[in-house]
Amino acid sequence: MKIHICSLFDMHHYARTLRPGFLVSAIQPEFQPETPPEVTTARHHRMAVHDITSPAFGSIHTQHEHMENLISFLKAWSTSNESLLIHCYAGISRSTAVALLALCIKKQCAELDAALALRTAAPHAKPNQLIISLADEILILNGRLIAALEAMGSGTPASEGPLVSLSIDA
């Protein structure tokens, strides 16, 4: 099974072709898509946040409640043998942060190993720092997820990420 990461623009195509069991839409409210017919509504988690790292007027920044709900959703997915599709607007920041978190939860691996696997699969990934820091705090990782993000480096420039697939050893 796999974790797939893509942009909003490619999400419906990959929902049709990959037929994931679970879907995360980490995207601002005005761009939240309809649940594709290939995914049941109960297995579509919506995290309606903007891609920012601190509060900004007119924008929704990721908060504890968003992350607690996401972590609960990812833990429910981690008991499944179905794939997970994650998207944000461009497939670069929010979606890669969620993927890093999902990889840690599913594989129960070291945060640094997960971060290096993500960097190898997605040279363009720039995981959202606020999502990562809140996840680190909620999961009581004592800075390990933040350190893993820093170890990834800044990545290569991109305006939209291609489909990225990470294999999960069940």
CATH of the domain at 34: 3.90.190.10
CB 1 within 8 A of CB 165: no
Specify the pLDDT at position 16: 98
Mean pLDDT of the chain: 95
Alpha helices in the chain (DSSP H): 8-18, 64-78, 94-107, 111-121, 129-138, 144-152
* 26 has a pLDDT exceeding 90: yes
Specify the pLDDT at position 107: 83
Specify the pLDDT at position 112: 95
Q: What is the mean pLDDT of residues 48-61?
A: 96
* 170 has a pLDDT exceeding 60: no
Q: How far is CA 142 from the centre of its chain?
A: 20
* 54 has a pLDDT exceeding 90: yes
Q: Is 22 helix (H, G, I), strand (E, B) or coil?
A: strand
Q: How many domains does the chain have?
A: 1
pLDDT band at 165 (very low <50, low <70, confident <90, very high): very high
Specify the pLDDT at position 108: 77
82 is in which domain, residue-wise?
Answer: 2-167
Read off the pTM: 0.96
